[in-house]
Structure 1
Amino acid sequence: MSTAVAVFHGRFGRASLYRLNRPLAPHAHREGHLIFLIDGAPAAVGVDGKEYRVDRHHAVAVSPWQPHDFRPSDFGQGAVFLTLYIAPRWFMEASSQIGHVMMRFGAPSIEMTPDLAGLLSRAAEGLSEGEATSRLLGTIQELTETAFEHTWAIGKRAPPIWPRMSDFRIRNAIRLMNERVTDACVLDRIARDSGLSRPHFYKLFRQNIGLTPNMYLNTLRLERSIDRLTHSDDPVTAIGLDLGFASQASFTRFFSNNIGISPTDYRRVSMVTA
């Protein structure tokens, strides 16, 4: 079973050490996402329909709202991965001195150079020791900036990933989804309230946002659940029921399929700093 070693939350986003031995369903994050192998067998990450390796020589970068999935090669003992979820606003503020204007990676594959390997080792050591300090935050910032530079250094240019939301009906649908994230069977009602048939709603949403309404709604539910797991003492069952799940088992299954570990395990190891 996949397990959590440590999770560190802060204004920057979150950093985690997981031992994973199960695939993750296709999903997306509003954060920039960096995936590194720490120990064990390699894995693959599917990004926009293409497969990229996470091994001793390569990491993977996923831009905000870019659909991706995770595929381990070891379904027994699993392998340990360090994953970063970097808030774009924090990144732009923290990196303003070197002129970054948005968080969009130049390419999904990152070659692990000695400088990246050294930063990765320091970050993994700080997380595993429960070091929720400014020193760890500084290492995470340096690791993120160095990885970002590496994705652009190879000279490739990727199309923008940021949501466009040019259609006012989709902007309205986004507002309704945020308001009704806890409702069951919400998407059909949102399509109707936005003046669209279900097929047209799904087509327009994909064209404007770059992912399906289901994946976007799942992202909202994950964000709400992570916030309550780390900032409240509410029982896991209550969190799941409040988010529209019929039982703790269904909520745990949803959380595990998208995050890799159970909500109880996630809460157990989480460290939070300002």
Structure 2
Amino acid sequence: MSNALRLARGIFGRVALLDMDRPLVRHAHPHCHVLLKVEGADTQFSVGERIVPLTDDSAVLINAWEPHAYAHHDGQPATIILALYIEPSWLGAFRPNWKASGAPDFFAVPVGSATLRIRGLTRVLAEAMVHDPGNADEHERLLADLMIAVIERFAAWRDEPASLRLAASLVVDHRIRKAVAMMRDDPRAVNDMEGLARAVGLSRAHFFRLFEATLNVSPRVYLNVLRLERAVQAVAEGTESFAKVSESLGFSAPAHFSRFFHDHAGSSPTAFRTVAGLRRSDYETLR
């Protein structure tokens, strides 16, 4: 069963070392998202309308809010994947126009050929997370080196000072703004998309067309992103029971929440919480 082996969190976002042997549903993230193979079988992801390979020699590059899925096949061996979910504001501290990593066109293509440096930095970060799980400063330093190498390799950030599409996306129809605000205020209360459309004064069909044209994802995917990010925070911080987290996000039963979390995050909530709180002393005990 797929699970998280290690998790690093900070102002940079999060990095998950995932042991993957089952598919993930189509989903999205509000981050600059990069997937790198550490070891195991070559595999593949669905990004937008394309199936792209994840191998020793390739990196999968996913823009913020871009729908994607892990396209694992039955009987395919497991793959250990370093999954980077990086905050554009953190990248902007390196170069101001790297804040555009939150734009839908930051990576022009969803897959690229990884350099020997990127492959080496991937391995070094993965090993640091395994062998020194509590060393947050070292994880962030290694992640910075890796992301600089990735962006310089795969993003045409020198060509344009900022994304026009990102700037255009700041102008959003007032009805879509209202729908987004309702989702963000209380994801638990939004289950019926037809009711949400009526609440903002649109027919269901027009609401779906306008929402996706504006935000590049469907209303349901957007709602699931909000739920997942809140779930990740609640599970990683370890302050509430899974039943309480499930209830706060609008799931009818904890089992439904656990399945949702596994299908979107690639790990059970239990494994995710365990590795999120793992310290150096815990690792020594486990050995």
TM-score using structure 2 length: 0.87
List aligned pairs for 1:102-117, cutoff 5 A.
102-103=100-101, 104-117=106-119
| Counterpart selection for 1:233 from 220, 239, 251 | 239
Seq. identity, %: 29
CA contact (8 A) 2:100 2:166 kept: no
CA distance in structure 1 between the partners assigned to 2:259 and 2:12 by the alignment: 27
CA distance in structure 2 between the partners assigned to 1:269 and 1:147 by the alignment: 26
Shift of residue 136, structure 1, vs aligned partner: 1.6
Which 5+ residue runs of structure 1 have no aligned equivalent? Answer: none
Q: Is 1:137 the counterpart of 2:140 in the alignment?
A: yes
1:50 maps to 50
- SS for the counterpart of 1:53 is strand
CA contact (8 A) 1:110 1:147 kept: no
- Distance 1:65-1:254 versus aligned 2 partners, 3 A rule: same
CA distance in structure 1 between the partners assigned to 2:95 and 2:158 by the alignment: 20
Shift of residue 271, structure 1, vs aligned partner: 4.3
CA deviations on 1:164-222 (whole Å, 9 max, x unpaired) are 55311111111111112112524333211110111111111011111100000000000
Q: Which amino acid in structure 1 is aligned with residue 47 of structure 2?
A: V
CA distance in structure 2 between the partners assigned to 1:249 and 1:34 by the alignment: 29
1:213 maps to 219
Q: Which amino acid in structure 1 is aligned with residue 256 of structure 2?
A: S
CA contact (8 A) 2:134 2:278 kept: no
1:100 maps to 98
Shift of residue 224, structure 1, vs aligned partner: 0.9
CA distance in structure 2 between the partners assigned to 1:152 and 1:133 by the alignment: 27
CA distance in structure 2 between the partners assigned to 1:76 and 1:52 by the alignment: 16
List aligned pairs for 1:17-56, cutoff 5 A.
17-56=17-56
Q: Which amino acid in structure 1 is aligned with residue 152 of structure 2?
A: E
2:285 maps to none
CA distance in structure 2 between the partners assigned to 1:52 and 1:94 by the alignment: 29
- Distance 1:94-1:152 versus aligned 2 partners, 3 A rule: closer
TM-score using structure 1 length: 0.91
CA distance in structure 2 between the partners assigned to 1:229 and 1:191 by the alignment: 31
CA distance in structure 2 between the partners assigned to 1:217 and 1:137 by the alignment: 29
Count matched residues: 271
- SS for the counterpart of 2:45 is strand
